[in-house]
Every structure is written in C-alpha cells, then in structure tokens.
Structure 1
Amino acid sequence: MSSYYGDRARDVPSWESWEAADDDDIVDTSEYAYASRDHILFCIDASKSMQIPFPDTTNEDGEVVRGKSALHQALEAVVKIQRSKVITGPADSVGVLLWNIDPGNTPSSSQASYKPGTQVYQKLRTINAEEIKRIVKLMERAKEQDDALGDDDGIKTKQPEIFSDNFPACDKEEELNIADVLVTCNFLFRDAGTNLAGNKRVFLVTDNDYPPGSKMNREPARTVYGDLSSYGISINTFFVDRPDHRFNPTLYWNDILQREPDDNAPETDEVPDVDGLAELADVMNDLVIRHAPKRVQFSIPLKFGGKNGDIEIGVSGYAMVSTQGKGQPKLVRMRGQTVEEVQIKSEYTSAETGAVLKDTEIGQAFQFGNEATVKNVIEPNWWESDEHQAEQQMVAEEALRLDLERRQKEDEGEEVEMAEATQGRSQQKNGGGDEKQKVIARTRLQFTSDEVAEFKSMGMKPQIKIIGFQSPDHLAIEENLKHSYFIYPNENDYTGSTRTFAALLKSCIKLNRHALAICRFRTNTQPEFCILIPQEESFTKDGGQDQPPGFHIVILPYRDDIRRPPKNMTDNLLATDRQAKLMSNIIKRLRIKAGHYRSEAYPNPSLAYHYAQLQSLAFEEDFDPTSTSAQELDKTFPKWWGMHKAAGDFMNEFNKSIEDDERATESLKPPTKRSTATQNDIPDLEEGDLRDLRGLWKTGKLDKAKVQELKDYAKFYKISLNSKTKKGDLIEIMSEYFENEKTGGNGGEKKKSKK
C-alpha cells in the first residue's frame, strides 16, 4: 500500500495533524466562555437641562466649535460603542433607556411594567445592524441640523430639533423618582431573558444631583439598587457638570448607591477644565478595544521534592500573550432572502475507484527518504528465513567448536550434551521445520494513533516536574523561543496547593533561584525543558494588585532548535566609542515618554483597517481609503518630523562620523576581478565560503552539492540561472558552464583569455 500524499511538501501532513484533540485537551470553558461578553444598558436623563447645549469653544486652529448638549454627547457615545461592538463584541448586548420624557408624547410600550415618563429607544438585546442603523440615522440627521445652524454666524447655539421631536422633555414637576427609573432598568434586564450571561452594567448619565424625592423618599431607591446588585447588575454613574453648577454626588447619589461619602467628594473651590462627559468618553475608548480574556490553557499537577517528586500540587497555566487575527469568514449559501451557513463534511475517496473510504481503511504514515523509491511490499521476513537461520546455526557451531578446543575436550560427556542442546535450540528456532514463517512488511511507515501518541509523549503524563534549581546567572535571553506561560495554584484537584505553592514561590524569591523542570502541558504535546521564573506580588499606589504572584514558565530550546547566527551579523565592523556615544544620544532623544511600550495605545493597523471596511459594508456607508479618518487607523506610523526635530542634529553628526570612518569606505568599495578567480582562489568548504564546485564537477560528484551552494556559486561568478530553482536544472546549467569553460566557449575561461 503506497502513501496517499504526493511529493509536494504542502501535501505532507504535519506532526500535530496525526492526533485529534483528546478528551483531556478539551478545556472547561465554563469559567471564561462569557468573560468577554458585555451587556450595557444606557440610562440617559433627557430632562430640559440635559438638552441645553454647552457654550461654544475654540479649537487650536482658532475655529469655533459649536457646543453640544449632554444628551447629544451621550447618544454619540452610544453610536460609537455599538458600531465598534459589531466587530469587537458581536455577542454583546446594548440597550438605550431615556427618562424624564413627556408622558403625553411617549410612544406606547408593549410592556405595561415600564414606568410612565420612560422611553425604551432600544431594547436590551444582542446588537444587530438594523437597530444600529436606526440610531445612526438619527445622529446623522442631528449633525445635518447642527451644521445648518453653524453656517450662520452670530446665531446662538441650539439643540437639533430632532432630539426635541423624538425625546420631548417633561416639566420640572413631572420628573421621575430615581426608584422608578431603576425599576424600569430591572425590568429591561428581566425581559432580555436568561441568556445575558456575563458582565451586566447600567451606564447612568444625569446632571441632576438632587432629583425628586431626594429628601423624604430614598428608601425605595436603595431597595431597588439592592435588587439590581443581587442580580449581578452594576451601575456606572457618569455625572454631568452644568456650566453654572458642579455636580455634587454627596447630596443624594452616594447614599442610594451605598458609596462612601468621601469617594466622590467634589472640590468646590476648583473649576473643571473639561466638559462633564469626559469620563464617559474615556470609558468608550476603552470599550472599543477588543480585550481577550485570560483563559486557562492547562490544569496539570506540579511535582517537586524527593527523587521522583514526592510533593504534588495542582496548578493552572495562562497565556499572557496571544495573537489577534481577523478571523475566518464563514461559508454561506445564498438562498432567496436568507443566508444559511454551510455545514462542512469531509470525506476521503479512493483515487482508483472513487469510492468513499471508511475510517478503518485509512492509516497514518510518515514520509521517510525519497517516497518514489519506497514501496510497502509484503514479503517474508529475512530474519526468519532459512538462509538467516542456517547462517546463525553456522555461527553457533563455530563458537561451540572454539569453546571445545579451548577446554581441550576435558569432558566428552559434556561436549555431547552441549552439542545436542545446541542442535535442539536450532531446531526450536527454525520451528522444527514445520511452522509457517511470518510475513511482514518490508518498510514500516504506518503507525496507529496510540503509537504516535507514545512517540510524542515518551511515556510522560501531562505534568510539570521540577528537577533542580539554579541561579539566574545561567539564563540567556536568546533561549526564550516561545511565548511563556504563567502558572497559578489550583485547589480543585489537590487541597492545600495554594499554601504549598506560596511556600515554594517565597523560597525561590528569597534565595534568588529559579526552577529547572521538564514539562508536558497537554496530552497532545511533547515534553519540553522549561525554567520557572518566580514573580513576587506587587501593588499600585492605590493599593490594588499590579502583578500577581506566580511563576513564568519559559520553554527552553533543544539542541536542534539552536542555529548559528548568519555570518553577516557576527562579522560586522564594531562602532568606535565616539560613534556609540552619538547613537546613545539619538536613542535618549527618541525614547518613549511613558518609559515603556504600551500595546493598548497602538492598535493593529491591519485589523483596524479590516474592521473599518466591515463596518462600512454593514452600515451601507462609503469607505474612502485615502480619507483622513482611514489614514488615522494606523497609529504606528513613525512621526518622523518630530524625530528629526528632537534628534536631527545628533543624526547628522552620527552620519558624518560614519562617512569619515575609513573602514566603512573600504567595505563599500565594489568587489573587482571576481571573474578572474581561479580554482586555487576558491577555498574548500568552510562555513560561509564557496565550495569547490569545479572540483566536484571534474570528479562527477556535482550532485553532492547543496542547492544553496549552487546558487551562491552562480551569484558570485554571475552565472545566469534563468530563474531555475530545482536542483537538477541548476546542476545542468553549472555542468554546461564548466564544459564551456573547459573548451573555451562562453564560460569563464574565454573571459579570462580576453582579459
């Protein structure tokens, strides 16, 4: 039976493809399946004060910017978060509730439990393009009306009429009690169903620090807030400062939200230099960034102490760094007005008959050597053949004869007994001549799943086994080849793991040691040597945890993973002390102000561009790649004008030092007389040098050269390869070149004679 894959490298299955994920490798998703889901209910006060525009401002260019009301800015935040969550959180839910609306103009609600004076503009459910388009069109219409007012100078800033038409504010005496507002929020989460698993929050936006009922009727509001908290619903407040009044949460809100009086105590002597919705804008900027949850990668035992790991505890490993991709598009079928996702089914068919093969008819095989010459022919085993058995018997008899001669026939009886025993063993080995010989395959390329798993595991179960401790002086930065894991104790399987883990961590930190271990993280992975670097717990200035306590697991390379650096990296010219000093000045001037790289400040421009295009398609908008907004998606573009302004003088001085360096001038000279090199000018095979291909051709061993050696030789002597890449074609071109060179054709000898 021949192999089922072709000669091309891409057709050869990888090592990991031989084994499907075992049951042990299916990580329990219960703890993180909904960690990234977010359900936000915007609860916005639409009173008259919230619909009064803020005063106009002047930007850096001296242009007048029309002020927007708090309601206008809050709805802009709603649009921004929903547009972004179409990509970053398609399973999230967003709802919009407005209160202090005129009850006479409020649309009739399908739910009688919603309090009068509230308007559910968007129910709390999974976001979709149609509902987002509705609020997007509302904001576009508001922008058109705002721009129309801004064209006429001298006209006082007004609220766009579309807001007063859709959300008419009630009179002051009709404003709602906060308990009724919170009850409506509770009903919205209730009506959304039980599928709202994850983070549930209410974003409450208001500018009224002393709402109706604040003096006598606070207990109902406290009770409703307690009900929301018991259901896992948190309230995030965004208090808006009016131009003539700063919001004071201690008058009412700290009491019903059970907050300490000093948490949000305002400093009344100071005037805020930002608008009241700055905090909401900051939260929106954070929400539009896609944060991947810290998911458990493995949960295995950790063994240490004694000869075979007498102490055993449980640990869980987390991936600290992961790559965020665009995701795979789904295959769909266009069927009328609906789109159905295609169900994928894979089948293997026979190349000869076309029949569908069963699982028992498909094996797992590895390619070994040249597949074209390897055949899995069924034939008798040579090791069990008569020829091999006769050979073995002759060897045994010769050994017995020598032994008997050495003993000088001291005991003839023993000699006869040994000869009979030897003959009996020979007959038994041959099966007495009657047993049928076994028939096996000549080549062993096919293995079962259990055999493949045994090869990969080398008999080791998933675990972390510490085999010793050493000083950090033995570590090298180039030994970190992969992303590290972070382990933390797990009490599910081993009680007391946290206490033992803490003792081990404390000892490693105190003695300044790290652990050397052999690890196998999952059943479908192979064992690897790792080091466990301890990390001590640290705290921020506010007392919160900055870094958790635990061990970073750094995977060490095997010998086969280590390669020598390229010669052009190790044999470079060393900079002088002055050049190093000048470059040091450049680095100091171009250093990041924060002191370290902040990944959250630089979104992936490729992903941002991809998401922007998807949003434009979803909302039926035009996307112009040359527009300013599209170009701003790439925040990694170097600010070269600022770089030259900060370190331009040092750059020029450094460049001048390079130009004045005689060594650089010599290295930049083009090589001369390459074509005049003779056979003696080309040394034997050394690392980084040309191999004597001419000598190999003379001896008929040119096929022993590697493809890269053939290319390097052709490049050095300017031999045209005609874009050929296969070894056979390269050997043919080089042979023709050497033949012409020998006969004085168009090769190098003719060029040298002209020289």
Structure 2
Amino acid sequence: MTSYYNDRTRDIPSWEDLQQDDEDVVDISEYQYASRDHILFCVDASRSMQTPHPDQETPDGLIRGKSALHQVLEAVVKIQRSKVITGPADSVGVLLWNVNPATAPKSASGNYKPGTLVYQSLRTINAEEIKRILKLVERANGQYEEQHEDDSTPTVEPEALVEAFPPCAEGEQLNIADVLVTCNFLFRDAGTKLAGNKRVFLVTDQDQPPGASSNREPARTVYGDLMTYGITINTYFVDRPDHRFNPTLYWNDILNREDNDGAPGDDDPPDIDGLAQLADVMNDLVIRHAPKRKQFSIPLKFGGKDGEIEIGVSGYSLVSSQGKGQPKYVRMRGQQVEEVLTKTEYTSAETGAILREEEIGQAFQFGNESTVKNVLEPNWWETNAFEQEQQALADEAIRLDQERREREDDEDESMKEREKDLRTKAVAVDGAHPKVVARTRLQFTSSEVAELRSLGLPTGIKILGFQSPQNLKFDENIRHSFFLYPDESTYSGSTRTFAALLKSCLKYNRHALALCRFKRNSTPEFAVLIPQEETFTKEGGQDRPPGFHVIILPYRDDIRGAPKNMTDNLSATERQAQLMSNIVKRLRIKAGHYRSEVYPNPSLAYHYAQIQALAFEEDFDPSTATDLDKTVPKYRGMHKAAGDFMKEWNMSIREDERAVESLTMAHKRSTAVEIDEDDLADVAGAFAKGELTKVISVFYPPFIPVVSLVV
C-alpha cells in the first residue's frame, strides 16, 4: 500500500491554513495505492549477453559460467511459477531486443519494432505461457548440463537460446528510444486491465549503446511518456568479464539520475552487479504477500457537538492470517474443467417443502426446550382476563342479592357461606394490580438483531476528543489495528481535510479518542486514532505511509492481571544480563530486523508446492517437504557463533544461589506430599479445597519446575 509520491509532509497545509483560504492545497493523487503488480522484462539479447561467463575453479570442482540471458530467463521462470500462488491476478511479459529480425522465429505475439521480439505478451499469467518458457529453459539447461561431461571444452551458449533469440550483428543494435516505445506499446495494448503497480525490468550490459551521442533526446522523451502513464523502470546493469558497467556514460542521463552513486567527486562506476540485484529482487517477489484489502469504507465525523465535519475514510488491515483458501467446486467431465454454480435452499424438516425468505426467522434456544413455539403464549396480566374476572364477581354478587330477596329466611347458612366466599374473592381481585412480568423472548427479526448489536448507532467513526499519548498504555490493545486512508469517492474534499487533521495531530502531538462502528453487523467499540508521519528510505522511496492507526481499546472486563508465572520471577544479575547480551549480539539477523514474510508457514508451503506441481504437470516428491520448512533453526550456525557464550551463561545460572535454593524448595515440596488412598475417592472435594495437586502427584512422579530468570 503506497500513498505519497510527490513532496514531503511539510507541503500538507495545516487546519489553520485551510481556514485562511491559502492557495496551498494537497494533491489528491498523493493518496493512491496499488494492489496488483505488472512486470515487463525488457532483456537485451545481444551477442555479449549470450556469451557465457568464464568458468570458475573451486575446491568442489569446476563451475561453468552461464550467460546473462540464461540467468535472466531462469529468474523469469522463477517469478512466474511463484506468482501462480502469490499473485494470480498479476501480469508478466517478456520483451527481447537486439534480436536479428531476419532469422528470429515468428511468434504469435508479433514484433512491434524491427529488432524486438515479444516472447510473452503482458497479460495475466496463465499455465500455457508459463509452460512454454519453462520448456525452453529446461531444454537450455539440459544442453548446458551436457557440456559438463567434457571438462576440456569451454562452455558455450545452449543452442535452444540461440535458435529462439538469434542476436543481431555488431553495429545493428537497436536504438534505445525504439525499445522504450515498444515497452509503452505493450502496456498500452494491455488496456485498462493493468490497474496497479507497473514496472519495466530492463537488463543490459551495454553502457554505451549505438547512437548514444545523438539519440539521447528521443530516449528522454519516451522515458517521460512512460513516467506520465505511471510506468517505472528498474535497471539491472550487467558487468562483462573484462568491463565494468558504467551507467554515468548514458543511462543516468536519459533516466534523470545522478551521475554517481558513491562518494561525491568519485567518477568511478558503482560496484553493483545487476544479476545479483535481480536475484535479490526475485527473492522478494516470490514471497507471498497478503494483499492489503479494504476492510471498510465509512464516514469520519469530528468537530462541533455532533460532528459537523464529515469525510470519507477507508480502513485496511495491515496484519492478516494466511490460509489455503476456499476450494472451488468444479465439474470434471468433458474436455475442460468447468466451475459449478452453487445455490443454497432451505427446506422444512417436516414436509420437505422449500421455504421462502419471509418464512424463515431467527430463534434462540432457551433452557432444555428443543423446540420453539411459533406464537408466544400471552401473559395473564397483559390480557382482559383480569377485567373478565372482576365482571364475573360483580355478576355473582347481583345474583346473590336477588336470591336473598326472594327467600324469606335470611338466616340460611348456605347463603351466608356463599356471600363470605364472594367477599373474599372480591377483596383479592380488587387489591390486585396489573404487573409487568419479565418473559424470555426466543424469536427476533433480522432488523431487531442488528439493532441489539449496534445499540442504535450508525456505522462510522466519531471523534470524541483529543489527548496526549502519555495517557495510553502499551498493553491496552486487544487485537490487530486498522490503518485509515481518505476515501475521496464518498465525499469530495476528504483527502484535503484528512491531511489537515493528520498534520494537526502530528504538530500538537495528540491522538484522537473515537467511538467506532466499522460494519453494519459489528458492535460499537472505543478506539484511539494514532497519527503516523510519512517517512522515506535513503534511496527516496516511501518507508511508512501517512495515516492513522486505529487501536481498539478494551472494555473493563477485558483487562485482567498478568499470570503469576510471568510476574513472580527472579531478576537476573548484571553479569547474567551482560552474558545474555553477548548471546543476543552474536545471534542477530544480518538484515537488522526480522521479516516474517521470509519464513512462510511450512504447511502452506507444502500445500502450494503440491498445487504448483499439479498445475505444471510435474511429479511431486514428498521428501522435499523438509526443504520447504524455513522455520527450522540453524543450530550449527547458532552454536558456532555463540556456543561459548551459551555455556558461560548456563554456568552462571547453576552457580546462582537463588536458583539453587528455589529448585531445592520446589523439589522438597513435590517429594514431601503424602496422601491417603481415601482421598482419591473424593476428587471433586480436593478440587474445592484447592488440593487437587496432591491427587495429581499420586499418578505422576514428582517434578522440579523450571525457574526462569528475567533478563
């Protein structure tokens, strides 16, 4: 994910500048990012590029040199094989120049300029084109290996490469402007499908191509056209055995680069091997990078009482777990495998009839009831049963009064008993009042479930205020964060306002407190928006993009104390800390920082290797699974680099009286346990008393716990 391509963040206007209507504005194009990679290999196929490098004598034997063209084609095969898994939506093309147009074989891709050969068009990679270049390289490698049988003859270029790419004669090399024009044509013919990062990998060993003195201006013009269309050129200059490549003679001029890459005033060419650079780039390209997919696009509100300013933002997940992916259902019959269209339907368990969407609801099981009634029974107090009973008592009282009048004997015992019961019931009914009874509702509609989850809050981010970073704690982070970028498609002017908000937070060293609801089916959460300033590498590339990190804050019940085995540890002495420091210094990574993407998941690597072998119709050897696991520590190298320091550190632990005393006390506690056989019958009682460890010690032998030292 990339953003700023132009000036530094100092050119971003502050909030006060926007209110003063200054003319400085933020370019919207500074917030752009690419998700796909499109690479065009532009390889020089001249005679010098097809000349094998000299053989090298080594203690292990003779190593025959390969030509630069041979090594570049092997790199192309490597990246295309890997992109079947790592980037199936990416595009790769192969263009060769300084090819003899009279003897070059005709290809379906065609020739754009005389002397160029489009071996593979720039389009989404597919198995057939990869198999074509793979067979060419395998054939060349076979002819190359056959030369090893006779050590007396020097290495020559395999015939397969010479026949496929016959070099042009000396003095007939192609003009560089025509080469760049052909690159532009290939990207143009690919159409708008090439949305993303577009690059040209230019490989050559000619530091002064023909016409270098007179054809510089056309080459500069074409290079400017490529840059206008967002196409960048990565150059890989190859040194000849008797000549070091000097980019200052021609290439730095047409590519608008500085004359020297070393110390100021140094006119010598830089000591950089293009093939070694290309190998390093290939190692980075074959790494499976999880795409920075957009997780949500919601409004951001701030300012005023209820958020008077509203802009659009998008959130990206910088950390994601990689999996094998969901397999697709296909139909295996026929000449081609066809994907199956899946359709889901719900049927009644009793009748088997297909149910419509309005006939299906959401119900929750409560208690031991296995079924849920379709209609809930109404509560007695919520119906007219109360009024009906009152009316029945009144009618009964009228009937008794009429019956008493009709009788002459007022002293009838049965009549008195009936009147007494009626008064009792009347008092009970008259003294009763309707009650609100709490009932468990088992069935809800989809809209009601969504309202319960959202608490009635709309989706979006609402900034509640700002505070100093001193109020934050490092451990108040419960899951991976999101990274915010402006979204100009929803609200015009979002980029400019977002940049001003970011600049103000960085200027005053503040972060924002916000109430967030990222998606429609998510619950509201409190978060902090931590600003991040854009930084650049020494080469001028972007190191960190500008934006906000959205850190989700925990609720009260999410905060718990640390386990005792993490807090009740012995602190290391200064000598022990120094010894461990020596070990860490010896075992540091050469790159200076750990790159998790370099060490892929062994299980996924094994899975991808099987898929790749199946796609290219190759035999898969299960014994190579151990070679795919790059997470196995290099024990020999570790002991060779810091073995003596490890022994010294272990000796210091054994000599520490605190550790010896702690181990001795733990051993006594574990061996002094005595338990009767009767206690084994009441395991639940032992658990309630906190004495379950005594019962466990009967089945397992005493053990000595590990004592860790905090360095």
The bucket for the TM-score relative to the shorter chain is 0.7 to 0.9
| Unpaired segments ≥5 residues, structure 2 | 1-29, 393-429, 701-711
Distance 1:540 1:391 in 2: 86
**Structure 2 length normalisation: TM-score?**
0.76
Q: Is residue 204–residue 236 contact of structure 2 (8 Å, CA) maintained in 1?
A: yes
Select the residue among 166, 169, 172 that pairs with 2:170. Answer: 172
Q: Is residue 245–residue 269 contact of structure 2 (8 Å, CA) maintained in 1?
A: no
Q: 1:613 aligns to what?
A: 610
Q: What is the CA distance between 1:169 and its match in structure 2? A: 1.8
Distance 1:378 1:584 in 2: 70
> CA 1:635–1:590 in 2, change beyond 3 Å: closer, same or farther?
same
Instruction: Write the deviation string for residues 278-299 of structure 1: whole angstroms up to 9, x where unpaired.
Output: 2222222222223344343333
Q: What is the CA distance between 1:449 and its match in structure 2? A: 1.3
Distance 1:111 1:625 in 2: 38
Q: What is the CA distance between 1:267 and its match in structure 2? A: 9.1
Q: Residue 531 of structure 1 aligns to which amino acid in structure 2?
A: V
Q: What is the CA distance between 1:111 and its match in structure 2? A: 7.3
Distance 1:190 1:495 in 2: 30
Distance 2:199 2:188 in 1: 13
Instruction: Write the deviation string for residues 510-537 of structure 1: whole angstroms up to 9, x where unpaired.
Output: 6654433221122221101112333344
Select the residue among 294, 297, 307 that pairs with 2:295. Answer: 297
Q: Bigger CA drift: 507-516 or 126-135?
A: 507-516
Aligned partner of residue 461 in structure 1, secondary structure: coil
Q: 2:570 aligns to what?
A: 574
Distance 1:272 1:717 in 2: 73
Select the residue among 61, 66, 69 that pairs with 1:68. Answer: 66
**Structure 1 length normalisation: TM-score?**
0.72
Distance 2:534 2:227 in 1: 30
Q: Bigger CA drift: 196-205 or 480-489?
A: 196-205
Distance 1:504 1:189 in 2: 38
Q: 2:634 aligns to what?
A: 639
Q: 1:85 aligns to what?
A: 83
Q: 2:600 aligns to what?
A: 603
Aligned partner of residue 40 in structure 1, secondary structure: strand
Q: Is residue 133–residue 619 contact of structure 1 (8 Å, CA) maintained in 2?
A: yes
Q: Is residue 377–residue 441 contact of structure 1 (8 Å, CA) maintained in 2?
A: no
Q: Is residue 319–residue 484 contact of structure 1 (8 Å, CA) maintained in 2?
A: yes
Q: Residue 574 of structure 1 aligns to which amino acid in structure 2?
A: L
Q: 1:342 aligns to what?
A: 340
Alignment of 1:462 onto 2:422: no
Distance 1:109 1:302 in 2: 54
Q: What is the CA distance between 1:544 and its match in structure 2? A: 4.9
> CA 1:540–1:169 in 2, change beyond 3 Å: closer, same or farther?
closer
Select the residue among 533, 554, 557 that pairs with 1:557. Answer: 554
Q: Residue 93 of structure 1 aligns to which amino acid in structure 2?
A: S
Instruction: Write the deviation string for residues 620-671 of structure 1: whole angstroms up to 9, x where unpaired.
Output: 22333434xx534322221222333413223431552479612213324545
Instruction: Write the deviation string for residues 229-281 of structure 1: whole angstroms up to 9, x where unpaired.
Output: 45444433322221222223344334444555557999987587664422222
Aligned partner of residue 370 in structure 2, secondary structure: helix
Alignment of 1:93-104 (within 5 A): 93-104=91-102
Q: Is residue 32–residue 295 contact of structure 1 (8 Å, CA) maintained in 2?
A: no
Aligned partner of residue 199 in structure 2, secondary structure: strand
> CA 1:310–1:475 in 2, change beyond 3 Å: closer, same or farther?
same
Q: Residue 159 of structure 2 aligns to which amino acid in structure 1?
A: E
Distance 1:535 1:41 in 2: 34
Q: What is the CA distance between 1:72 and its match in structure 2? A: 1.0
Alignment of 1:666 onto 2:665: yes
Alignment of 1:211-250 (within 5 A): 211-250=209-248
Q: 2:703 aligns to what?
A: none
CA RMSD, 1 decimal: 4.2
Q: Percent identity over the alignment? A: 67
Instruction: Write the deviation string for residues 184-225 of structure 1: whole angstroms up to 9, x where unpaired.
Output: 434444444553333333322222233333344455544544
Q: Residue 626 of structure 2 aligns to which amino acid in structure 1?
A: Q
> CA 1:540–1:46 in 2, change beyond 3 Å: closer, same or farther?
closer
> CA 1:658–1:445 in 2, change beyond 3 Å: closer, same or farther?
farther
Instruction: Write the deviation string for residues 6-48 of structure 1: whole angstroms up to 9, x where unpaired.
Output: xxxxxxxxxxxxxxxxxxxxxxxxx999933333222222211
Q: Is residue 246–residue 270 contact of structure 2 (8 Å, CA) maintained in 1?
A: no
Q: Residue 559 of structure 1 aligns to which amino acid in structure 2?
A: R
Q: Residue 482 of structure 1 aligns to which amino acid in structure 2?
A: R
Q: What is the CA distance between 1:350 and its match in structure 2? A: 1.1
Distance 1:391 1:654 in 2: 89
- Determine which structure has greater relative contact order: mean sequence separation of CA pairs < 8 Å that are 6+ residues apart, divided by chain length: 2
Q: Is residue 261–residue 270 contact of structure 2 (8 Å, CA) maintained in 1?
A: no
Q: What is the CA distance between 1:347 and its match in structure 2? A: 0.7
Alignment of 1:343-362 (within 5 A): 343-362=341-360
| Unpaired segments ≥5 residues, structure 1 | 1-30, 395-425, 431-439, 693-708, 720-755
Q: 1:372 aligns to what?
A: 370
Aligned partner of residue 48 in structure 1, secondary structure: coil
Alignment of 1:401-416 (within 5 A): none
Q: Is residue 679–residue 695 contact of structure 2 (8 Å, CA) maintained in 1?
A: no
Alignment of 1:31-180 (within 5 A): 35-58=34-57, 62-109=60-107, 114-180=112-178
Distance 1:518 1:135 in 2: 54
> CA 1:566–1:129 in 2, change beyond 3 Å: closer, same or farther?
same
Distance 1:348 1:55 in 2: 71
Distance 1:54 1:44 in 2: 17
Q: Bigger CA drift: 192-201 or 79-88?
A: 192-201
Q: Is residue 85–residue 288 contact of structure 1 (8 Å, CA) maintained in 2?
A: yes
Q: What is the CA distance between 1:343 and its match in structure 2? A: 0.8
Distance 2:172 2:149 in 1: 36
Distance 2:302 2:533 in 1: 20
Distance 2:505 2:75 in 1: 49
> CA 1:392–1:717 in 2, change beyond 3 Å: closer, same or farther?
farther
Aligned partner of residue 514 in structure 2, secondary structure: strand
Q: What is the CA distance between 1:392 and its match in structure 2? A: 10
Q: Is residue 36–residue 292 contact of structure 1 (8 Å, CA) maintained in 2?
A: no
Aligned partner of residue 236 in structure 1, secondary structure: strand
Instruction: Write the deviation string for residues 483-535 of structure 1: whole angstroms up to 9, x where unpaired.
Output: 01222445555566566655655565566544332211222211011123333
Q: Residue 635 of structure 1 aligns to which amino acid in structure 2?
A: K
Q: 2:524 aligns to what?
A: 527
Q: What is the CA distance between 1:450 and its match in structure 2? A: 1.1
> CA 1:441–1:380 in 2, change beyond 3 Å: closer, same or farther?
farther
